[in-house]
């Protein structure tokens, strides 16, 4: 195939796949207007779970004025909200409710994980009742780090969400596609919590002991590798300065067993020494406390 035929084929594919005509320009204008309206009226759903919610509430006050972003209307209903702000520690008992509310939100919808706990578990990561990040069950669009994040950090997350909205188009928006969108299955809460979408995988894993053992080995190796990397990243302690050797202690003569009579005699000697020291101390104290007399009084007494 010649170069000219290659160029012709490429031009034909561009005309088929890429919109470059008047219709494309019209869609770009619609996208800019459509995205401008959406990003300027994001209604969040108040979903405060822990201390991060206090910062989210502060962001709605007059000092920080979240109304600048068109998001001052915190909606109590998921059917009237565009954005779910998961603020705080997500427990396993709370996950089914979060997923249920997310499924009730209308498209287009977004999720913002506010704080270290909602993003990855925070200080409670791998706890017996804490989920290590809401992204294990929901598609998270924006992560706002912090413990807790400040209202300014939350506003920066809003700006990043605006940037993401600006890059979307009605031509490829998932909520405008012809195929049917399935809701996210609610996690099942029992002795532990698991995603129903992995039920078949879990069942197969439980029936295969060799695969269970191999999985355990992989997890152990991964944990050991992580520990090794953390050890290499830690700074090495400074070398200790040489210290002069201490002289060897003098040998102590072994204790000799004493008879009861000898022990009683030593005890009496110790009591006598203590009584003598007490008497001397008492005499010295009495002499220091005696009143002083002048020389004239002494001479008068002698006459």
Same domain, 134 and 11: yes
Is pTM beyond 0.85 here? no
Number of domains in the chain: 2
DSSP H or E segment with residue 189? strand 188-189
Residue 265 lies in a domain: no
What's the chain's average pLDDT? 76
Same domain, 37 and 165: yes
Q: Of 273 and 49, which is predicted with more confidence?
A: 49
pLDDT band at 86 (very low <50, low <70, confident <90, very high): very high
Query: Is-contact 108 173, C-beta < 8 A?
Result: yes
Query: Residue 141 above 90 pLDDT?
Result: yes
Same domain, 206 and 190: no
Residue 68: burial class (beta carbons within 10 Å; 0-12, 13-18, 19+)? exposed
Q: How many CB atoms lie within 10 A of CB 131?
A: 25
Residue 167 lies in a domain: yes
Same domain, 75 and 103: yes
Residue 56 lies in a domain: yes
pLDDT band at 52 (very low <50, low <70, confident <90, very high): confident
Nearest to 127 by CA among 63, 69, 193: 193
Express each pLDDT in 144-181 by its tens digit: 999 889 999 999 999 999 999 888 887 777 776 666 66
pLDDT band at 215 (very low <50, low <70, confident <90, very high): confident
Residue 257 lies in a domain: no
Same domain, 26 and 172: yes
DSSP H or E segment with residue 218? helix 209-233
Same domain, 220 and 190: no
Same domain, 33 and 151: yes
Q: What is the mean pLDDT of residues 89-104?
A: 89
Looking only at the bridges linking them, the beta strands covering 193-194 and 188-189 are antiparallel
Per-residue pLDDT, 77: 86
Structural domain of 208 = 202-230
Q: What is the mean pLDDT of residues 34-47?
A: 85
């Amino acid at each position: 195939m010649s170069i000219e035929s290659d160029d012709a084929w490429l031009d034909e594919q561009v005309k088929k796949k890429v919109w470059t005509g008047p219709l494309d320009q019209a869609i770009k204008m619609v996208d800019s207007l459509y995205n401008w309206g959406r990003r300027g009226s994001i209604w969040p759903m108040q979903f405060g779970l822990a201390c991060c919610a206090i910062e989210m509430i502060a962001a709605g006050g007059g000092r920080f004025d979240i109304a600048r972003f068109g998001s001052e209307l915190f909606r109590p209903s998921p059917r009237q909200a565009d954005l779910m702000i998961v603020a705080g520690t997500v427990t396993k008992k709370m996950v089914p409710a979060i997923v249920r509310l997310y499924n009730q939100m209308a498209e287009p919808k977004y999720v913002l994980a506010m704080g270290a706990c909602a993003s990855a578990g925070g200080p409670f990561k791998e706890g017996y009742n804490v989920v290590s990040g809401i992204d294990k069950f929901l598609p998270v669009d924006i992560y706002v780090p912090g413990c807790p994040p400040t209202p300014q950090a939350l506003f920066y997350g809003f700006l990043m969400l605006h940037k993401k909205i600006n890059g979307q188009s009605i031509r490829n928006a998932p909520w405008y596609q012809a195929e049917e969108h399935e809701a996210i299955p609610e996690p099942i809460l029992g002795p532990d919590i698991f995603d129903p979408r992995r039920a078949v995988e879990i069942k197969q894993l439980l029936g295969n002991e060799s695969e269970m053992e191999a999985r355990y080995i992989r997890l152990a190796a991964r944990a050991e590798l992580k520990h090794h990397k953390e050890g290499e990243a830690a700074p090495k302690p400074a070398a200790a300065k040489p210290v002069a050797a201490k002289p060897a202690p003098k040998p102590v003569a072994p204790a000799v067993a004493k008879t009861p009579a000898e022990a009683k005699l030593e005890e009496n000697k110790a009591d006598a020494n203590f009584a003598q020291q007490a008497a001397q101390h008492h005499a010295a104290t009495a002499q220091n406390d005696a009143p002083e007399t002048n020389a004239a009084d002494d001479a008068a007494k002698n006459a």
